Every structure is written in C-alpha cells, then in structure tokens.
Chains A and B, each alone.
Chain A
Amino acid sequence: MKMLLRAGRIIDPSEKLDIVGNILIEDGKIKGYPSDTKTIEKDKRVKIIDASGKIVSPGFIDLHVHMREPGFEHKETIRTVCEAGAAGGFTSLVCMPNTNPVNDNATVTEYILLKARKEGIVNVFPIGAITKGEAGESLAHIGEMYEAGCVGISDDGFPVMNSRVMRHAMEYVMAFDIPVISHAEDLNLSGGGVMNEGHVSNRLGLRGIPNASEEIMVARDIILAGLTGARLHIAHVSAAGSVQLIRDAKARGIKVTAEATPHHFMLTDEAIFDYDTNAKVNPPIRTKADVDAIREGLRDCTIDVIATDHAPHTEDEKKVEFDLAPFGISGLETALSLSLKLVKEDVLSLPEVIKKLTINPAQIVKIGRGTLKVGSIADVVIFHPETVFTVDRMKFRSKGKNSPFHGWRLSGRVEYTIVGGRIVYAS
C-alpha cells in the first residue's frame, strides 16, 4: 500500500524538521521524502493526499487516557476512545490502570491489548498499576505486566500514600527501565475536597483541595526518585509550586518529567462559578497564578508533555449535585485546538507544541513513535491550524460529553489521522 502526502508543511521535532515537502508511505512505514512526485503520482496504486496549506506531523501520543474498559463500558470502550483519539489526531493512546478489574496483573493487560488489536483503530499502550488493586499497600505484578506489554506503572486516580511502598516500586522498576507515573495528591489534605481551595470555593461553599496537597507529594516523589534513581513522571500538574519543584529537581539532575493538561493551562476555577460539574476534575483547575506558572513551565520545558487525562463519564453521572459528580473531563477531541491556542497566545511555537505531543511523550514510555524519520512506522496526522469551529460536546465521538469547553470558538481541525500507513480518520 502506497500513500503520498503532498505539499504539506512537515513539522517533525524529532528530526528538527520544518519544511514544505512530500512524504511517501509504503507498507506502513515512512519510505522517503521525494522532492519530485510526478512519477509517483502516475502510479495508480498510490493514494494521494493533498496536504497543501496544512500541517503534517507525527501522530500525537496521549500519555494519559482513561479507557474505562474493562468494567466501566457505559462511560467509554476501547473502540469509542480510539475513535475519539483518532478524531483528535492521536495515533497512540497510553491508558491508565484504574479499570475494573484494575490492571495490576498480566491477564488484564493482555485483555486490554487483545481488545485494542481487535477493536481499536489507534495504538494502545497500557500502564500497569503500582500496587495491587491500586490500594497502595503491596506491589502489583509489575514484571509480568511489563512482559505482557505495559510501558509504565501508575496508581493514577490515587496516590501511593505510603512512602515505603513508593520507594520499593521505584527500586523495583529499575530492572525494566519504565517510568513511574505519579498522581500526586495527599489524601489527608485533599479529603472531601471537590475543587480548588481558594476564593471561589469559599464563595460557593464547597470544600477545597489546597495546592499543598499536590506540592507535598510532588516533593516527596522527587526526593524518592533522587534516592532510587528511578525515572519519575509527574502526571497532570496543576499547582504553581509543583512546577517550581520540578524545575529545581531537573536542575539538580533528578530524572523527572512532567505533563500538563489543556484544562490546566486554559481554565481557572472561575469556570465553576455556577456549579458546572463539567469543570469538576482532579487535580482541580486552580487560579490564574497557577495557570501562568504552568504556561511558563511549558515554555521553559520544565513541563515536557501535553496530555489530556481524558476521563469520560455519562451525562447522568455528571448531572447531579456538585459534591456527588465524578471528577473528569473528556479531552481527546479538544486537545489539539486548545494546544494551538498556546501558539496564538505566544506561549509556545507550533513546533514546540507538536514536540510535547509527539517525540517527548514517546521517549518517556519508549514506544519508538512520535517521529517521521525514514523507516519509522507511519503514524501521521494532517491538520489545518486555522479552521475555525465551535465546540459541540454532544457531537464528540467519545461516549464522554463532559467538557467545559462547549461553545468555545477554537481553531485547528484534524483532516487525516494515519496509523501504520492506514487512514483511520478523515474529516
């Protein structure tokens, strides 16, 4: 199968490439960058995609997705989350283990991979749990899961409160060279909280989660990473203090990376002013000072990755009293356009945004993607950065319509998503 992507602006940060050119895909791999396409175009077997005026980049990789399968299929399935990912320009999704049953052993890992092979139109890479049942007490079958295909470990959804357990986990994974992804939250400080602790939570009479809850655990995990030499990745950074801690740790040579979600670099807690549960998320969206710090962290590369923490829930589950609504935002289908807003607002350049969605996440979980180097697997996204649209959450391909961005006018639309040389999404 041959495919020619013609005359697009090719941005591949892994090769520091930013040129207008052509890409030839053959047998699912990047075959070359032909400058003269006339002969190729005469070959009737070649599918030609006109990318002129559009951006061609490696397919996006989302380091933080909740697929909900097995166990919560009413919220999302592997099939629907992959469709949502493809529509958002993602060719690889890394999924968290807080399913039911929890992905804490090889059997569940294999189930997920099998389902993904059968029904998922994009690549799926599972994260295994750190502890059995994510209960924070004893180590999960990390070795088995690694061999079954897990690319990292995390108890996401929960922190590992016991520092000794977290230390052992970090030491244990040194044998497998996979990252430990930390959901940094001190449950004693955050307990019962439903939004950021601050001016807005006080006015609304809602219990708050202070910045300290995250910052304390970020500090602890950084210190443990220093002690053990493990590769630490901080998930969904939300607090200004966390950004500073990560910055200092990197300067001291600690092996730590970090991610931020679009809702954390775009919204403040004012978005909850009328108890909109679509903005209820953990960690919570915080104040302007925190948003500014996260943007600064993206700019100076303290934060390496943009990830969505895609967390779908049903409408019924969200249409309840604020205290009772589950945490989560369905983010796969707004990620690109919100990230492009950073370019519009002069926080990052376009290649920098693409870097945080492609080669950076790829290197953290070592999946060998996120690049358009000749010979690599052809995972490509073609998008138009200027197409304007209004977000309609009811039209999401994800089962989760829970988005606080409904009605926003954004620009940036995915035109084609290609996985292994096959088109899995066309607008």
Chain B
Amino acid sequence: MVFHRKHILGLEELTAEEIVVILDTAASMKEVSERDVKKVPALKGLTVVNLFFEPSTRTRSSFEIAEKRLSADVLNFTPDQSSVVKGETLLDTARNLEAMGAGIIVIRHSMSGAPWLLARELKSSIINAGDGSHEHPSQALLDLFTIKEIRGDIGGLRVVIVGDIRHSRVARSDIWGFLKLGAEVRVVGPPTLIPREIEDMDVKVYYKLDEALKDADVVIMLRIQKERQESMFFPSLREYSKLHGLSHEKLRQANDKVIVMHPGPINRGVELSSEVADDVNSVILDQVSNGIAVRMAMLYLVASGGRKV
C-alpha cells in the first residue's frame, strides 16, 4: 500500500498518489456510512483524542463521528475548561494525553506549526485539524472528494479561491491539493489579503472577481473575519462584499456547471448573496457526509501507517 505515514499534518508534503489513496479509502468509508449499522470494528481498542484549542463544533463533531464509526474510544479535550488556563504548556497537555494511551491525537490549534511540535515530541500519531493560518488537510481533502464525486476527475478543472488567502489555512491546503491533482488554481481577493509570495505556489493571482471567474468550474468562497477589517486590511464589509461577494450575476462568467463551495459558517450577504448561499447549502449537505468519510479514511490510514515505523 502506498500510504506509510504516521501523521497527516498537511497536504504540502503528500504526493498525488497518497492523496488519491486517501480519497479512494474515503469512498469505501462512505459506503459504511450508508449502511443501517454505521460501524466497523477496525479501530476497536484504539483511543483517539480530539484536542481542540479553538472552538469548532463542525470539524470536531465530524471527527468524533468518524472515530466512533471505526469503533475507536473517543476523548474530547477542550482546554478552555482545564489546566491550560492554569498555564500548562501544549506539550505537557499532550504528554498527559499520550500517557493515558492516546494512539491518535487530532489537534486544532490557533497557531501554525503546533501539530509539528507534537509530531516531533510524542509517540502518538497526529492528525492536523487546522493549525493557525497554515493548513486544514481534512477540509481540503473533503473538498477534493466532493468535486471528484461530481465531476469525476480533478485534472484540468479551473478552481477559484476567493477571499482572505493570507490568513486562510483552508486556502493553503486547497491550493496544494488541487494543484497536485492537476487542476488550475486561481486566487482572488483584495491585494492586502493576498501575499505576494502566493504566486511562487503556482497559482494565478487576480484582484477582480469577474476576471477570475471566467470559465471557472469550482469556486471556493472563504470566510471573511471581521477582525481583518479592524486591522485595516480593507475599509469595510460593505466594500468587501461589493467587490468580492458572490452573486448569481457574477457567477454568469463561470462555467454552466460551476460548483460553489464554502467551508462554513457562511456570512450571508458578505461572501455570498442569499440566493447563492441557498445553492451552496445543497452542496454543504453532501460535504458533511463526505467530511465524515474522509476523516474515517485519514484515521484508518494513519493508524496503519504508524505501524510500520
């Protein structure tokens, strides 16, 4: 089998083959989720800890369901209620969890690189559920899985990512994932939110939405955070939504069969007009079940990949 990794920390270091293995495994896992009894004993006896330093109901619930469908024992650890408030370091918290027998730690953290620190210092397998502005592999993998289900092949598709690229871990993971599977990737947003160096990643940079949307097959809308406006990256949400918000009219530039996605939660009227938000919501339901399948695949592969070490 091609997948030999003990951790999944980001898409940057995965090869295209490894990504395909994850997606193929996810397809098998999706079938499990469609049965009446949505459970297989593959991870029986394995303890998985969800170590979420940032609040996130969706991603955490998705991982939790995935873990339980594989029969793992699940521990949810949200440090706002605990010793981290008393000054315990990340490493000490994680070491305690490892000592309790955590085979896999799924970590979401507000600072880029936190999963690397754990991978270097602990024996458990680490899955990155989102680190700072850096990567969010499970989100990108489920985006790839969803598109692959609808369009068949990712190669040659024109993918446009819209919004705050600078601070977005979803954007970075999506860029790596779609590029490795052969898509053409474009980014568009206000210049203050697109770092100059993003061009080195082999993407095309646009500042005007209608140019970027021309013949697009996939549009991924990123969430705009109010704090960015307060830090002077753009003058107001009103102007942001006027220039970069998506409406049916602007979508006319794109391909007929264009798929619009949003990692959620949506700011209606800011990133998307209400009508587009309703369209997007139909894909979101698919993405929810795909998210569980993709996460089941990540857990299964990491549990097996870790054994070869």
What residues of chain A have their CB less than 8 Å away from a CB belonging to chain B?
198-199, 201-207, 274-275, 316, 319-324
Contact = CB atoms under 8 A, between A and B. Distances in A.
A319 B169 contact: no
Contact of A203 (B12, B89, B132): B12
B109 A321 contact: yes
Interface string B103-122: 00000010111101100110
B201 interface: yes
Contacts of A319: 89, 91, 117, 121
Contacts of B117: 275, 319-322
Counting from the closest, the 10 A-B pairs by CB-CB distance are A205-B134, A275-B113, A205-B133, A205-B112, A202-B197, A321-B111, A322-B113, A323-B111, A275-B116, A199-B197
Interface in B170-205: 172, 195, 197-198, 200-201
B126 to A, nearest CB: 13
Nearest to B120: A274
B280 to A, nearest CB: 25
Contacts of B120: 274
A323 B113 CA distance: 9
A199 B112 contact: no
B131 interface: yes
A321 B92 CA distance: 12
B289 to A, nearest CB: 28
A321 B109 CA distance: 10
Given A206-B113, A319-B121, A320-B117, A198 B133 contact: no
Contacts of A324: 111
Contacts of B134: 204-206
A275 B9 CA distance: 12
A206 B113 CA distance: 9
25 contacts: A199-B200, A201-B197, A202-B195, A202-B198, A202-B200, A203-B172, A203-B197, A203-B201, A204-B134, A205-B112, A205-B132, A205-B133, A206-B113, A207-B133, A319-B89, A319-B117, A320-B89, A320-B90, A320-B91, A321-B90, A321-B113, A321-B117, A322-B112, A322-B117, A323-B113
B135 interface: yes
Contacts of B89: 316, 319-320
A198 B116 CA distance: 20
Main secondary structure of the interface of A (DSSP, over half): loop
Given A205-B131, A205-B134, A205-B135, A321 B114 contact: yes
B48 to A, nearest CB: 22
A208 to B, nearest CB: 8
A248 B135 CA distance: 43
B121 A323 contact: no
Interface residues of B, number: 25
Nearest to B168: A205
Nearest to A191: B231
B195 A204 contact: no
B202 to A, nearest CB: 12
Nearest to A323: B111
A207 B195 CA distance: 11
Contacts of B201: 202-203
Interface string B126-148: 00000111110000000000000
Contact of A206 (B12, B90, B109, B112): B112
Contacts of A198: 197
Contacts of A322: 111-113, 117
Contacts of A207: 133
Nearest to A319: B91
Given A319-B91, A319-B117, A320-B89, A204 B197 contact: no
A323 B116 contact: no
A321 B133 CA distance: 13
Given A206-B133, A322-B111, 6 more contacts: A203-B201, A204-B113, A205-B112, A205-B131, A205-B134, A323-B111
Interface in B44-99: 89-91
A320 B113 CA distance: 10
Nearest to B109: A321
Contacts of B169: 205
A274 B117 CA distance: 9
Contacts of B113: 204-206, 275, 321-323
A322 B134 CA distance: 12
A322 B109 CA distance: 12
Contacts of A201: 197
Contacts of B111: 321-324
A94 B141 CA distance: 54
Interface in B152-172: 169, 172
B91 to A, nearest CB: 6
A206 B112 CA distance: 6
Nearest to A206: B112
A295 to B, nearest CB: 24
A274 B116 contact: yes
Contacts of A321: 90, 109, 111, 113-114, 117
Contacts of A205: 112-113, 131-135, 169, 172
Contacts of B197: 198-199, 201-203
A316 B91 CA distance: 10
Nearest to A207: B133
A316 B89 CA distance: 9
Contacts of B195: 202
A323 B112 contact: yes
Contacts of A199: 197, 200
Interface string B190-223: 0000010110110000000000000000000000
A275 B134 CA distance: 11
A322 B110 CA distance: 11
Given A319-B117, A323-B132, A204 B112 contact: yes
Contacts of A202: 195, 197-198, 200-201
Contacts of B200: 199, 202
Contacts of B121: 319
A173 to B, nearest CB: 37
B13 to A, nearest CB: 10
A320 B121 CA distance: 11
A204 B89 CA distance: 22
Contacts of A203: 12, 172, 197, 201
Contacts of A316: 89
A371 to B, nearest CB: 47
Q: Which of B112, B131, B198, B201 has the most CB of A within 10 A?
A: B112
A130 B131 CA distance: 40
A324 B111 CA distance: 9
